[in-house]
Structure 1
Amino acid sequence: MSEPVHDTLILTRQGRVAILALNRPEAMNAISMRMRAEMRQALEALQADADIGAVVLTGSGDKAFSAGMDLREFAKLSADLPVAEVKRLRQAATDGIATFDKPILAAVNGLAIGGGVELALLCDLVFAADTASFAFGEIKRGLMPGNGGTQRLSRRIGMPRALEMVLTGRTVDAQEALAIGLVEYVVPGPDLLARAVALAEQMAANAPIALRTAKAAIVRGAEMPLQDGLRLEQDLAAFLYTTEDAQEGPRAFLEKRPPVWRGR
């Protein structure tokens, strides 16, 4: 199938894994309105693509994952907009990743600042190069994280550490990010993408419906009281028993062969 042409992204495929690279290296991969729109378009297409089981999100170049919002563009855009419209634009910025129901991993290859950290927080797992760094610098400009940073960061690393990181605006290096739970893996820079893709491939090799359903159970259940989450799990697990793949998995095991998933 032909790939859509993007100005701000590079989309490549490696087996059942799509690698989506932010591609504005001259601007440290700052997030422009065009990049937001193209990312939503790309993720919608990948979500509907049965040949793709997982996605790795990274940055082009060797300096930055993303320096966050393109402040020059946003300042010009928001100058003539009412507050309600500015709020809508901010909310729309995260819709693509937040609603993506296949596994999506971040491979943070350099600086992640502001909205760049927020992009990583939207992903299911985060790999970081050993030279990567993370900072919410908005407070130093009289601003604050506004695309989910205050909420997702505190849920990920705890309120006290989130308060310290956001209210000082200081930079956290890769090793500290690992220690506080901001990232799951720190690897040498040259190995970053290969390591992230390898884990994504391991996930994508499993039954497609089970993969997406299990992710939904974990993500949605985390927002519920335990008893409600357990009921959700039971309902989703019961649904999977009705799929062809749930019959193929045990059959392949008994026949000592790899399963052939149908995605239905």
Structure 2
Amino acid sequence: MADLVKIDREGSIAVITIDRPATLNALDMKTLDALATAVSDCDRDPEVKVVVFTGAGDRAFVAGGDIADLNSRQGLPHYLELAEKLHTVFRAIELLDKPTIAAINGWALGGGTELLLAIDLRIAAQSARFGLPEITLGLFPGAGGTQRLIRQVPLCKAKELMFMGSRLTAADAERIGLINKVVADADLMTEVMSMARAIAEKSPLVLKLLKRTLNDGADMPLGAALRHEQAMIGLVLDSADAHEGCTAFLEKRPAQFRGT
């Protein structure tokens, strides 16, 4: 399965590439298994501080799922197998304690858009296209799209995308807040790696606790979320990194974070 998903390293940054360019990096069971392994490997590696996701080639990030495979399935086997795997892998990415960045280098349709919805930060090439076209096949998004999209963009826009099955340009996606930034195709990885390096300089412990605070609080009532934040920032102040950061500021020098 290693040939379906590969991991490259630049210092403390891991780049996970879905490597099926002949199928526009479509997701099937074997690819999802390989992706799950890659994510787990990055999670367990203490040297990895930021994880970047992209697709092989210059045409697609992830063009979606395998339609022929979907057409061969019935409801209960799909629920127990492919849908279960999709939800498990995407949730693992969403809850990864390390910041994640999507480098969207082309088509991100169906499962491709659903994948990026589970990734923290998203930078797209100008040529990238987005959408949830499942309705045109007599289906609807079933890999987290119906729930994550309505939490990330205006509800009326989310419904329009799912009811119409329409596609968005990169500029459209940025305008509604689906992605962070659009750059020229040739500048995509340069921009993504620059962002990843800037994040990797921060305290990995504080990034971990910050990401947990954001993920947990998003599903809490405001009062409970604020109490949770209060507790978590107290936990951060027990870290050496918090005091190193404050001391470095007072001493007018760069902080040396150690993740403790």
TM-score where L is the length of structure 2: 0.93
- Matched residue, 2:22: 26
Whole-Å Cα distance in 2 between the matches of residues 113 and 145 of structure 1? 10
The one-letter code matched in structure 2 to 1:85 is L
The one-letter code matched in structure 1 to 2:194 is A
Change (3 A) 1:174 1:198: same
Q: Cα RMSD (Å) of the superposition?
A: 1.8
Which runs of at least 4 in structure 1 moved beyond 4 Å after TM superposition?
none
Q: Which runs of 5+ in 2 are unaligned?
A: none
Does the alignment pair 1:196 with 2:195?
A: no
State the secondary structure of the residue aligned to 1:157: coil
- Once the two structures are superposed, residues 146-172 of structure 1 have per-residue CA deviations (whole angstroms, 9 ceiling, x without a partner) of 011111112111111111111111111
State the secondary structure of the residue aligned to 1:234: helix
The question of whether the paired residues in 2 share the 8 Å contact of 1:39 and 1:96 is answered with no
Question: Which of 8-17 and 227-236 deviates more?
Answer: 8-17
- Once the two structures are superposed, residues 209-228 of structure 1 have per-residue CA deviations (whole angstroms, 9 ceiling, x without a partner) of 10111111122112112111
State the secondary structure of the residue aligned to 1:102: coil
Question: Which of 96-105 and 79-88 deviates more?
Answer: 79-88
TM-score where L is the length of structure 1: 0.92
The one-letter code matched in structure 2 to 1:49 is D
Does the alignment pair 1:85 with 2:80?
A: yes
Q: 1:45 aligns with which of 41, 44, 66?
A: 41
The question of whether the paired residues in 1 share the 8 Å contact of 2:101 and 2:119 is answered with yes
5 Å-filtered alignment, 1:89-238, equals 89-238=85-234
The question of whether the paired residues in 2 share the 8 Å contact of 1:30 and 1:68 is answered with yes
State the secondary structure of the residue aligned to 1:55: strand
Whole-Å Cα distance in 1 between the matches of residues 151 and 134 of structure 2? 19
The one-letter code matched in structure 2 to 1:156 is Q
Q: 1:243 aligns with which of 235, 239, 242?
A: 239
The question of whether the paired residues in 2 share the 8 Å contact of 1:54 and 1:103 is answered with yes
- Once the two structures are superposed, residues 36-84 of structure 1 have per-residue CA deviations (whole angstroms, 9 ceiling, x without a partner) of 11111111111121211111111110111111112233444x3596464
Question: How many residues end up aligned between the 2 structures?
Answer: 259
